[in-house]
Amino acid sequence: VPVFGICYGFQAMAQALGGTVAHTGTSEYGRTELKVLGGELHSDLPGLQPVWMSHGDAVTAAPDGFEVVASSPGAAVAAFENRERRLAGVQYHPEVMHTPHG
């Protein structure tokens, strides 16, 4: 069963699978520029795109076996994926209209 974590779900997935979540002091709230670093999750989407963030804590290290596929000014790990295990997550909110590419 594929699993996709959004915001706190992304952080919970990271923590549960051995990654690191921390209060970094670089919270993001509002429109933020996402930089796509590769992977399949954002394939066919612009390399730089606006997204809506709302977080105080951040994933600072992805779990083993996960590829970091996007970053933002306040979140070096803004998205990750493990294609073999069919797990992925994003720190931003793809479900809101402020994230045009969803």
**Per-residue pLDDT tens digits for 40-75:** 999 999 999 999 999 999 999 999 999 999 999 999
Percent of the chain with pLDDT over 70: 100
Label the pairing between strands 87-90 and 75-82.
antiparallel
Contacts of 92 (CB under 8 A, 6+ apart): 6, 7, 32, 34, 51, 52, 53, 72, 78, 79, 99
- Using pLDDT thresholds of 50, 70 and 90, give the confidence band for residue 102: confident
Do residues 61 and 20 make contact, with C-beta atoms less than 8 angstroms apart?
A: yes
**In the annotation, is 95 catalytic?**
yes
Using CA atoms, how far apart are residues 81 and 26, in angstroms rounded to an integer?
A: 23
User: What are the domain boundaries of the chain?
Assistant: 3-90
55 is catalytic: no
- Is the pLDDT at 13 greater than 90? The verdict is yes
Q: Which of 23, 33, 40, 95 is catalytic?
A: 95
Q: With respect to CATH, is domain 3-90 assigned 3.40.50.880? A: yes
Active site residue 67: no
Q: Which residue among 7, 28, 55, 81 is the active-site one? A: 7
Q: Which residues pair with 75 in a beta bridge?
A: 72
**Confidence (pLDDT) at 97:** 92
